[in-house]
Amino acid sequence: VEAGATNCQFRLAARPEGLPGRDCWEMTEEAPREPADGEALVKVLQLSLDPAMRGWMNDVPSYVPPVGIGEVMRAIGVGQVVESKHERLAEGDFVTGLFGIQEYATLPGDALTPIDADLAPLATYLNVLGVPGMTAYFGLLDIGKPQPGETVVVSGAAGAVGATVGQIAKLKGCRAVGIAGGPEKCQMLVEDFGFDAAIDYKNDELLPALREKCPERVNVYFDNVGGEVLDAVLARLARKARIVICGAVSQYNESSMRGPSNYMALLVRRARMEGFVVFDYADRYAEAAREMGGWMAEGKLKGSEDIVAGIETFPDTLLKLFRGENTGKLILEVASA
Amino acid sequence: VEAGATNCQFRLAARPEGLPGRDCWEMTEEAPREPADGEALVKVLQLSLDPAMRGWMNDVPSYVPPVGIGEVMRAIGVGQVVESKHERLAEGDFVTGLFGIQEYATLPGDALTPIDADLAPLATYLNVLGVPGMTAYFGLLDIGKPQPGETVVVSGAAGAVGATVGQIAKLKGCRAVGIAGGPEKCQMLVEDFGFDAAIDYKNDELLPALREKCPERVNVYFDNVGGEVLDAVLARLARKARIVICGAVSQYNESSMRGPSNYMALLVRRARMEGFVVFDYADRYAEAAREMGGWMAEGKLKGSEDIVAGIETFPDTLLKLFRGENTGKLILEVASA
């Protein structure tokens, strides 16, 4: 790394109530840390901004520990090795890892995964070939278990996970219906991503729309949002339906979670609701990446990214996510390769 | 049937809001209907009063249609054939069927199931060898899939389904913890039914009690009550836990259902919540009755019945159920054999 380089970082300064405002963050600068033996220093190029970040900001134990006050905010990214003391990594290698919201990350080499920047754009490794893609793939196929001819509904459908869920559902011979906010997103789902139909939760009435777009009811519901959308789909389940609980972004900034008051539909419809954490599938990521990479090469699966430049925009860019203003995977560009 | 016999009946007069009061019912009298070809006339001896009845009173489609205004209230019972025009049934045969709240029922012979009154007391056919027992058996074993050494928690544990769930859990090598209201019921669970521990939801604080009684967390939760008990158990799930949704008696008389606000524990714990309807298992009832009858004969499984005499007490006796005042299966005795 060049002499005198500084590492700009965003640290958690206060835990939010509701939407995470600017007062939650402290921007700090320090020299990039030299790698010790077995470590590598990475120049961060792009960072993934995800709904799950809101959960990590709460002081509540979850599938990962909360981010501590004063710690660099957790984030997954892609970057390039600038200095390596790890035998498998060399300067110039492209890698992905848990870098955090900062310009440079010094991490054990074993915590970095090499990526092939010639095979796909870097952002793809934060989207279809990254955690969102893996989430869509394993959540839909392993938990939802869609069968050909079934109807798959996904909420947050214009987001990184949702758009991939809908496309995989189509590839598996299902009817794919997406729920998203606003006519532009809905149009994109049908025209760009090949969904059979879309429902605009901001403008359509959910129950009549679900009746119209899902005439055979809903066999698989992949839920990213919770709240009233979850309740509406519960009212339209088919017998033996599977609900995949992936997230509840409509509730993350509420002071108290709203539970699905229609959950007794699970009994009436002999249905189930199941949660999963994508990291449990880590030893199968390569298998999924091979299959999805193949679909991408054939033009049957595509990603969409919303790339915002400038690490200094992080607090505002993150809010785009919770306001539903992004279209496709929201990515913070920290530097170009 | 003797000349001049009257059939006293309870018909649904009005749909309740909240608890079903006396004004929901009309008591009528008419002559028992003579059986047509293929039918039998049954003298009703005992009727099962069940939490599910509250749902049948709402004008909401469910796994069975609502009871119509003016119709005899739906109920399962045991009785004795007094006149048969069905080739398989003879006068004096004991049968079980969907008789309704009345003294005589005339039904197609094919809708009546013969029972052996010498093998077990009649009430057993409304309890462990009846729908509650089948509900416990298939719900726990088919949906909950408990493994030896796991912790099984059941709510409404002093009720007909709950007490059987706990005993089957023990028979399968699990730790059984029951949640019930009041010290007497809790004592009965441990001393009479062999539960490992009991939690008194009226007097114990749920979260500390669950921590104490379920030190290894909860692998299977069989939920009969919903509401805050469901939320508390969600907070104490083990990884890959299974929640069996059997009922939500705490919510049946509320104007709006409360959903489980802790449902995101399903994600954190990689758990599932699944509903079922016991009638789907009708072709396996005989198999379950054989196994449970064997356990009863060996003294490893027992039922407990709370038998209230007099069809005229029906409206008040039903309320016992929703007030949690019954201990064991609540049965209305209409006549003695």
Residue B276 is nearest to which of A226, A260, A270, comparing CB atoms? A270
B281 to chain A, any CB pair closer than 8 A? The answer is no
Indicate the SS3 state at residue A79: strand
Cβ-contact A119, A332 below 8 angstroms: no
Q: Rounded distance, CA A169 to CA A195, Å?
A: 9
Residue B317 exposure: Cα atoms within 13 Å on the Cβ side: 22
On chain A, the residues whose CB falls within 8 A of the CB of B63 are 267-268
pLDDT in tens, A308-334: 999 999 999 999 998 988 888 999 999
Question: Does A226 score more than 80 pLDDT?
Answer: yes
Q: Model ipTM?
A: 0.88
Judged by CB atoms closer than 8 Å, whether chains meet at A268 and B277 is answered as yes
pLDDT at B20: 95
Chains A–B, number of C-beta pairs less than 8 Å apart: 97
Enumerate the residues of chain B whose CB falls inside 8 A of the CB of residue A258.
259, 261
* B248 touching A (Cβ < 8 Å): yes
CA distance A60 to chain B (A): 11
Give chain B's length.
337
Average pLDDT rounded to a whole number, residues B199-219 = 98
Q: Tell whether A275 lies on the interface with B, counting CB pairs under 8 A.
A: yes
Compare all CA atoms of chain A with the CA of B256 and give the residue at the minimum distance. Answer: A261
**pTM attached to this predicted model:** 0.89
Residue B51: exposed, middle, or buried by beta-carbon count in 10 A (0-12, 13-18, 19+)?
Answer: buried
Q: Measured between CB atoms, does A145 come within 8 Å of chain B? A: no
Question: Which residue, A193, A158, A197, is CA-closest to A301?
Answer: A193
Chain A partners of B274 at a C-beta cutoff of 8 Å?
266, 271-273
Q: Give per-residue pLDDT as tens, B79-112.
A: 999 999 999 999 999 999 999 999 999 999 999 9
Chain B residue numbers with beta carbons less than 8 Å from the beta carbon of A262 are 257, 259
The pLDDT mean for chain B works out to 95
Output phi, psi for A330, to 5 deg: -85, 125
Mutate to test the interface with A, among B60, B143, B274 (most CBs of A within 10 A): B274
Residue B274 is nearest to which of A259, A268, A272, comparing CB atoms?
Answer: A272
The yes-or-no verdict on residue A337 having pLDDT over 80 is no
Q: Is the pLDDT of residue B233 over 90?
A: yes
Quick one: pLDDT at residue A80? Answer: 97
Cβ neighbours of residue B49 under 8 Å, at least 6 residues apart?
B75, B314, B317, B318, B321, B330, B331, B332
Spell out which residues of chain B touch residue A248, defining contact as CB-CB under 8 Å: 264
Reported as half-sphere exposure (CB side, CA atoms, 13 A), residue B81 has a value of: 26
pLDDT value, residue B324: 84
Q: Which residues of A touch B272 (CB under 8 A)?
A: 272-275
* Cβ partners under 8 Å of residue A307, min gap 6: A46, A123, A331, A332, A333
